[in-house]
Amino acid sequence: MSSSKQCTKKQFASNEYATTIRTICLEITATENSLIFDTCEDRQFAHTQLKELKNKLIQLGITSNCKVHLDQSAYEDPETMAAYVAGQWLMFIDTPVIPLRSVASIIMEHSKRQSGPIRDMPGKDLPQYARNTLAVQEWIEQSAFFLDAKEEREAL
């Protein structure tokens, strides 16, 4: 999904609903990032926190995979964009991830067999937990882009 015009942090801030969703999504992003890069002190607490954030999104009316396949101009609206990102997070939030360092050897072994970026490598030969980790890592980057959260992402 690419947007014809990127929603800005200022646009999100001008809408209370969008701001609330954006804030929750950034908390999810930070928590998932800490799980993937193994920087959280308590993985169980992080999973509990993710469940609580998921419930907050559901209480706000967000559903898994919501706001997809809309006209590109619809994503210029901060509420729509925030809901889209949140709906994608609901698809990923229960996906088990393993610290990237734990799957690095498997990923490196597979990357030796092909040329190009690791994210372009065929995933069918990777174990599911490695594919999960790569998918969530990619969505961390994408969600930060869609939420105009470059500074917040760099602070992780």
Residues 78-98: tens digit of each pLDDT = 999 999 999 999 999 998 898
Tokens 């200022």 correspond to what residue? 10
Instruction: Please check whether residue 80 lies inside any domain of the structure.
Output: yes
Q: What pTM was estimated for this model as a whole?
A: 0.85
pLDDT tens string 104-146: 877 777 766 665 555 555 566 678 888 889 899 999 999 999 9
Domain that holds residue 91: 9-154
Of 30, 32, 12, 26, nearest to 56 by C-alpha is: 26
Instruction: Please check whether residue 3 lies inside any domain of the structure.
Output: no
Instruction: Please check whether residue 4 lies inside any domain of the structure.
Output: no
Instruction: Please check whether residue 79 lies inside any domain of the structure.
Output: yes
Instruction: Please check whether residue 60 lies inside any domain of the structure.
Output: yes
Task: Tell me the helices (H) and strands (E) count for the chain, helix number first.
Answer: 7, 0
Of 98, 86, 81, nearest to 26 by C-alpha is: 86
The count of structural domains within the chain is: 1
